[in-house]
């Protein structure tokens, strides 16, 4: 192949580089592994696309058809079908409810319920950890809390701050986890949060491949959607976010996980306790 690239090419034809030939070989291999869609699946896909644009949606039928197409959807995602194509075929994966339902079909775990428990149980310990005392978000939280006395509002603010600050507790790259009042720059799943401590105008969005997947109402739904997206779309966890996501998934799935010594120290700091088995 190297000799042909270097010396041999027919007269009148453009010489191809080794990289071009490798790309062609790779393309052929991908095509050979492509998943064929039968007429029944095509019918489901057409129905999803038509139903998605309707104002009044038949959620019972949506649930039924999403369950029926789970196997082919997992094959497509496992075969590295581009995300935009997956969302075109199955647009309801952009809805938090269906994202959570897909996660539950795969793991038998209620991701929203687990995420709410995590934020409610660990907010106080995370917010009082020493590494956050000088953090700008923590300072902004303290200033906002001084302006309010309503318990529900204060609780919401603390959970929102916990969602924003969790990577900082583990000394990891928070820009891979959440972007506050700025433009999303990363391709992996990330949250975009605007005006986090202003209850009237705060916004939470989940981004994948620098495009907004869905907009949600609160930090619990936002964090649950972020965690679910890694599993549902088969996306590998960024290395600079591994301890943060390991911590969350250990709580979500109630399992022990092999952590480094520094990880265990952070667990003690936020008051984490492994479930008794």
User: Domains of the chain: which residue ranges?
Assistant: 39-94, 111-253
CB 17 within 8 A of CB 4: no
pLDDT 10s per residue in the chain (277 long)? Answer: 555 444 454 445 455 454 454 444 343 333 334 556 788 999 999 999 999 999 999 999 999 999 999 999 999 999 999 999 999 999 999 999 999 999 999 999 999 999 999 999 888 888 877 666 777 888 888 888 888 888 888 888 999 999 998 998 888 999 999 999 899 999 999 999 998 888 788 899 999 999 999 999 899 999 999 999 999 999 999 999 999 999 999 999 886 544 433 444 544 555 555 443 3
pTM, entire model: 0.78
CB 266 within 8 A of CB 170: yes
**E strand or H helix that includes residue 203:** strand 203-208
Place of tokens 């480094």: 260
Structure tokens at 171: 């000394």
């Amino acid at each position: 192949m190297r000799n042909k690239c270097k010396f041999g090419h027919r007269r009148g034809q453009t010489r191809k580089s080794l990289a071009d030939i490798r790309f062609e070989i790779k393309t052929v291999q991908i095509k050979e592994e492509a998943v064929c869609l039968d007429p029944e699946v095509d019918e489901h896909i057409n129905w999803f696309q038509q139903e998605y644009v309707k104002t009044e949606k038949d959620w019972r039928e949506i649930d039924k058809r999403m369950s029926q197409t789970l196997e082919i959807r997992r094959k497509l995602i496992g075969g590295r079908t581009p995300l935009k194509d997956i969302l075109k075929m199955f647009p309801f994966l952009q809805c938090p409810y269906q994202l959570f339902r897909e996660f539950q079909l795969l793991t038998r775990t209620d991701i929203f319920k687990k995420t709410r428990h995590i934020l409610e149980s660990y907010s106080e310990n995370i917010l009082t950890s020493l590494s956050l005392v000088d953090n700008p978000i923590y300072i902004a939280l303290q200033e906002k809390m001084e302006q309010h006395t309503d318990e529900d509002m204060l609780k919401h603010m603390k959970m929102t701050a916990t969602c924003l600050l969790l990577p900082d507790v583990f000394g990891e790259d928070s820009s891979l986890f959440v972007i506050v009042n700025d433009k999303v720059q990363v391709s992996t799943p990330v949250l975009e949060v605007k005006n986090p401590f202003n209850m009237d105008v705060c916004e939470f969005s989940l981004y994948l491949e620098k495009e907004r997947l869905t907009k949600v109402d609160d930090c619990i739904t936002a964090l649950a959607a972020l965690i679910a997206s890694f599993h549902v779309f088969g996306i590998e966890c960024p290395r600079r976010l591994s301890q943060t996501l390991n911590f969350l998934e250990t709580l979500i799935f109630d399992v022990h996980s092999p952590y480094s010594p520094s990880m265990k120290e952070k667990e003690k700091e936020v008051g984490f306790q492994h479930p008794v088995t």
